[in-house]
């Protein structure tokens, strides 16, 4: 599996994403975080791109159901990865559409990403 979710602390959840992200894996990760939102309320998300190769070609990526139904339950999103993915990752996270702030951090800035999530 190229996506794994970990509870870091309080309401912060980390998603490690390796290789090529598939729609099925993203749907599973989304379902897992919905369970946590129902349990604890609003969450802060840290996405860590490790050896990331992009997204599988899938027409369903433009489905905004999760964003519409649960977007207000996300307080902040930090994305950590190789700079080559910055623009695409920000678009994928719908950074311009969200009321919650979304920031991208280079791979070497994990500590800064975690600090920003906590601020």
- pLDDT, tens digit only, all 119 positions of the chain: 589 999 999 999 999 999 999 999 999 999 999 999 999 999 999 999 999 999 999 778 888 888 889 999 999 999 999 999 999 999 999 998 898 999 999 999 999 999 999 99
Handedness of CA 61, 66, 69, 73 (dihedral sign): negative
Positions of E strands within the chain: 3-9, 12-21, 43-55, 74-81, 102-106
Rounded CA separation 77/113 (Å): 9
Q: What is the pLDDT of residue 60?
A: 83
């Amino acid at each position: 599996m190229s996506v794994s979710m970990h509870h870091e602390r309080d309401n912060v959840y980390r998603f490690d994403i390796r290789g090529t992200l598939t729609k099925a894996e993203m749907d599973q990760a989304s379902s897992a975080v919905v369970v946590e939102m129902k349990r604890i309320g609003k969450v802060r998300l840290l996405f860590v791109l490790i050896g990331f190769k992009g997204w599988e070609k899938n027409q369903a990526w433009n489905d905004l159901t999760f964003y519409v139904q649960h977007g207000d339950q996300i307080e902040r999103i930090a994305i950590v990865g190789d700079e080559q993915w910055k623009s695409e990752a920000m678009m994928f996270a719908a950074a311009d559409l969200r009321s919650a702030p979304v920031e991208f951090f280079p791979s070497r800035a994990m500590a800064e990403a975690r600090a920003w999530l906590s601020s």
